Amino acid sequence: MNRTGLAIALAIAALVGVVFGVYPRLDIDISAFFYNRRADLFVVNAQTWANNSRAAARWLSALILAPACLAIIGKLILPKRRILIGGRAALFLVLTMALGPGVLTNVILKDHWGRARPIDTTELGGTFHFTAWWDPRGDCPTNCSFVAGEPSGAFWTLAPAALTPPQWRLLAYAGALAFGAAVGLLRIAGGAHFFSDVVFAGVLMFLLIWIMHGLLFRWPPTQLSDAALERPLVRAGEAMRNALSAVLRRFCGQSGKPS
């Protein structure tokens, strides 16, 4: 998560944004490669392995996130015990997943950017008109094409990659990018997203992760220690335990009264 990575991400966004903005039909041309006009379908959608691969990709992201979620839940339940992983790392993984694929992709963009999916456009067997990536005035009412949802979740793996030891980090970044690109290609082949949807999903996830990593790990004015981030969890856990104890005492006291 350095300035070189930021420069590369911004350069990719600028290049794809300009080229596919000036020549938006490139998106149609790429998607048309996977569309069988005689059968009127995207052939990948008829393959069982495609759905299995999508499910496996979602499970993989969930399994990578699980230790962070369990660490936070465990700290709330047992506030005096040592947290499973560092407080900053756990918060970083949970926040980037929630704010990236969760809020930015699915709440803000996909439900308010009316770009129709390839499979829904008139050029590829649908009834909606095609719009460029920058135009939110499409026919799609909700859960639209821009940006790509499942690839956003796959590109999120850049977050755990950023936490790997330095000697493994470059390899981890490469693996995360390859994972995101593979899921993106699968969604393009299935007519669910255009090429530019996938590229901007990756760019936006990187930018969000870059900012959150800076806030939690790199930038001194906002950088906090693991202990500082764990203290609110300890207080919240103790408050929950005290409230539960009070409820149990009251319940046991009432049940012990003679009728």
The answer to whether the beta carbons of residues 182 and 49 sit under 8 Å apart is: no
H-assigned helices in the chain: 3-22, 25-32, 48-77, 87-97, 149-155, 158-162, 166-189, 195-213, 226-255
Domains within the chain, CATH numbers bracketed: 3-255 (1.20.144)
Query: Which pLDDT value is given to residue 169?
Result: 95
The predicted structure's pLDDT at residue 259 = 46
* Dihedral pair phi/psi, residue 206, rounded to 5°: -60, -45
- The one-character DSSP state at 84 is S
Other residues' Cβ atoms within 10 Å of the Cβ of residue 37 = 9
Q: What is the radius of gyration, based on Cα positions, of the chain?
A: 23
Give the pTM.
0.89
d(CA 229, CA 227): 5
User: What does the alpha-carbon distance between residue 89 and residue 93 come to, in Å, rounded to a whole number?
Assistant: 6
Cα distance between residue 139 and residue 215, in whole Å: 38
Q: Kindly give the confidence (pLDDT) of every residue in the chain, 259 residues in length, as a single tens digit, with 9 standing for 90 and above.
A: 788 999 999 999 999 999 999 999 999 999 999 999 998 899 999 899 999 999 999 999 999 999 999 988 888 888 878 777 888 999 999 999 999 999 999 999 999 999 999 999 999 999 999 999 999 999 999 999 999 999 999 999 999 999 999 999 999 999 999 999 999 999 999 999 999 999 999 999 999 999 999 999 888 766 667 777 777 777 777 787 778 777 777 777 665 555 4
Of 45, 42, 64, nearest in space to 54 by CA: 45
Q: What is the pLDDT of residue 236?
A: 79
| Residue 91 CB contacts under 8 Å (≥ 6 apart), including other chains | 68, 72, 216, 229
